A = this chain, B = another copy of it.
Amino acid sequence: MSSPDFAKLGAVYPRYLNAVVLHGLATAQAVGMGPTDLYAVGTLVFHGRMTSGELAAKTGLTTGATTRLIDRLEARGLVRRVPDPADRRRVLVEAVEAQGVDLDDALAPAREKLARVFADCTADEIATLTEHFERAAPAFHEAIEAIRDAR
């Protein structure tokens, strides 16, 4: 068995990440969402319910701007405000499970085209890919923390 071909990976991977990010931006634009809104929803989906203040910290916005952010997302039905029973000053924000229909429509092409890519894979390959995705996702989130802390 030969050693891993990291050179080829290094050539392919940046273009791949680029494509994923571009697709994310195109999707957001298609449903009329700005980058902050997209980021906030993604953060809430990943980390789960959090307070308005925590969301402000994650996004780097002031608490005032975050209030407006939540207003926008709530108006779109992407997010829900839940009063914190333990501390009635606080507002918990959570992503609504059934995301908007328009968002679903915008993601349909990617779903279809990627399903075709995955369909050609063997069971072993799917297992390899799944494990990679499982490990890479936290790595990206750690990198996000590092970027934020560096500022």
Taking a contact as CB atoms under 8 Å apart, the answer to whether A5 and B109 are in contact is no
A23-B144, A26-B147, A143-B110 known; A117-B133 Cβ under 8 A = no
> A3–B64 Cα gap in the complex (Å)?
51
Neighbouring B residues of A106 by C-beta, 8 Å? 147, 150
Contact A4 B126 (CB under 8 A): yes
Closest to A149 in B: B109
Residues of A130-146 whose CB lies within 8 A of B: 130, 132-144, 146
Majority secondary structure, A binding face: helix
Tell me if A9 and B139 are in contact (CB < 8 A): no
Residues of B within 8 A of A146 (CB): 109, 113
Q: Please, what's the 1-or-0 string for A18-37, where 1 marks a CB less than 8 Å from any CB in chain B?
A: 11111111111110001100
Looking at A39-47, A49-57, A84-92, the stretch in contact with chain B turns out to be A39-47
